[in-house]
Amino acid sequence: MKLSIERERLLSPLQNLSGILDRNQSTPVLGHVLVSAREDSLSCSATDMEVELVVVIEQGASEPGEITLPGRKLLDICRALPSASRIDVSCQGGQAVIRSGRSRFTLQTLPADEFPSFAAFSPRVTFDIASRQLRALLEETHFAMAQQDVRYYLNGLLLEIGAGRIRAVATDGHRLALKDIPSPAVVESMQIIVPRKAVIELLKVLDGNDGEVKLLISDNHFQVQGANGTFTSKLIDGRYPDYERVLPENTNKVVIADRELLRQGLARSAILCTDRFKGVRISLDRDTLRSCGQNAEREESEEQIEVSYNDELLEVGFNIIYLIDALAAIKTPQVRLEFKDTGSSCVIKPDGDSTNVYVVMPMRI
């Protein structure tokens, strides 16, 4: 196999592929990138047996062929080379020689037939969606997913398709993020749970892509096909909890606030909070939100933020990081905070927009 390619055309795909590579490398080939060179195109693939990404580059090869190259070493080489440099790759006898200018690198390869690939699957649901819509759906909810929770189904993001919408839901048991977007015509309603790693890596793949992508969903797999590649992930086999039960009702105490001023004020309050819990006490009075934090050394912080609030005095404790994360995900200038009483959760929404809902549960301080 022989090919010549500009550094920048190879660097971006390798950056996306690097997140897919198996970090533990329990099987050596899972730390490699499969490079398939044809006369009119070049495809690069990475997988950890749970997630697979195939990137296609419009770049022909002088001598077509297939080989696997150590992914992170190849990425490090591309990063270290000067901008606008040209990379020449040739493979022979179990080794790949990479040349660029006066630089030369020799890498050990593995046979292409050792590289695993996802078997073809029959999708139950297929539809097109704008890439920016799919990215917004994931970006504005993914931060609430659990990390390494024994309730394995929480270590992922729920996609609920049907009834004229696609809904994304994430929760770690202490907070919940929900977003709706209009759904194209879908024949079958369904729920799937996309694993945490797949959500994080798919966000990278969708970044900067303004076109349309095709979603294919089967009982066990979730696939996104774009103009320059295909992303495939296994689904989490489990039943997601009834998230609607934690959405508070009768939240008649309403706060309207400037989103950025509120976020900045809460961030200052977090500076002196106890590192582990980041608990603050939120006090609401006439047109004022007061945030008070304290740590084990009895150091204190207090922020008074001007808001619109015309109800009775209310005090509730929260993990301040959960509030800040929700505010960072909202795009509107104004936000709406809803409360019921001192023992209930806080509901956060973009003001005038009901497609995003964030719920933060109270904590004792």
Q: What does the alpha-carbon distance between residue 296 and residue 88 come to, in Å, rounded to a whole number?
A: 59
Q: Is residue 356 part of a domain?
A: yes
Beta-bridge partner residues of 257:
335
C-alpha span between 257 and 365 (Å, rounded): 24
Are 269 and 346 in a shared domain? Answer: yes
CA dist 53 and 202 (Å) reads 9
CA dihedral 122, 125, 130, 135 (to 10 degrees): -80
Is 18 among the domain residues? yes
- Per the structure, how many domains does the chain have? 3
Within a domain: 119: no
- Do 233 and 181 lie in one domain? The reply is yes
* Residue 58 belongs to a domain: yes
Query: 225 and 148, same structural domain?
Result: yes
pLDDT, one tens digit per residue, over 157-195 is 999 998 789 999 999 999 999 999 988 766 678 999 999
**Residue 208 in this model has a pLDDT that exceeds 80:** no
| CB 339 within 8 Å of CB 284 | yes
Do 38 and 55 lie in one domain? The reply is yes
What tokens appear for 74 in the block? Answer: 């190849």
| Stretch among 22-26, 69-73, 338-342 having the lowest mean pLDDT | 22-26
Give the C-alpha distances (Å, rounded to integers) separating 73 from 12, 171, 191.
Answer: 15, 36, 39
DSSP tag of 236 = P
Q: What's the domain range around 180?
A: 125-244
Q: What pLDDT score was predicted for residue 273?
A: 87
Q: Do 17 and 85 sit in the same domain of this protein?
A: yes
Neighbours of 309 (CB within 10 A): 20
Q: Are residues 9 and 103 in the same domain?
A: yes
**Over the chain, what is the mean pLDDT?**
93
Kindly state whether residues 84 and 134 are assigned to the same domain: no
**Same-domain status, 92 and 30:** yes
For residue 37, the cross-strand partners are 42, 65
Position 264, amino acid? Q
Name the domain boundary from 83, 114, 145.
114
Domain boundary among 244, 263, 290: 244
CATH number of domain containing 324? 3.10.150.10
Kindly write down the DSSP assignment for every residue of 164-205, as one continuous string.
TEEEEEEE-SSEEEEEEEE----SS-EEEEEEHHHHHHHHHH
Identify the band that residue 152 occupies on the pLDDT scale cut at 50, 70 and 90. very high
Q: Which of 244, 266, 291 is the last residue of a domain?
A: 244
Which of 148, 145, 197 lies closest to 175, judged by CA?
145
Residue with the bigger pLDDT between 345 and 296: it is 345
In a domain? residue 229 = yes
In a domain, 280, yes or no: yes
Judge if 292 and 266 occupy the same domain.
yes
- Average pLDDT on 13-38 reads 91
- What pLDDT shows up at residue 186? 63
Tell me if 351 is assigned to some domain.
yes
More confident residue, 175 or 296: 175
User: Is position 365 within any domain?
Assistant: no
d(CA 92, CA 94): 6
Q: Does 360 score more than 70 pLDDT? A: yes
> Are 135 and 239 part of one and the same domain?
yes
292 and 223 together in one domain = no
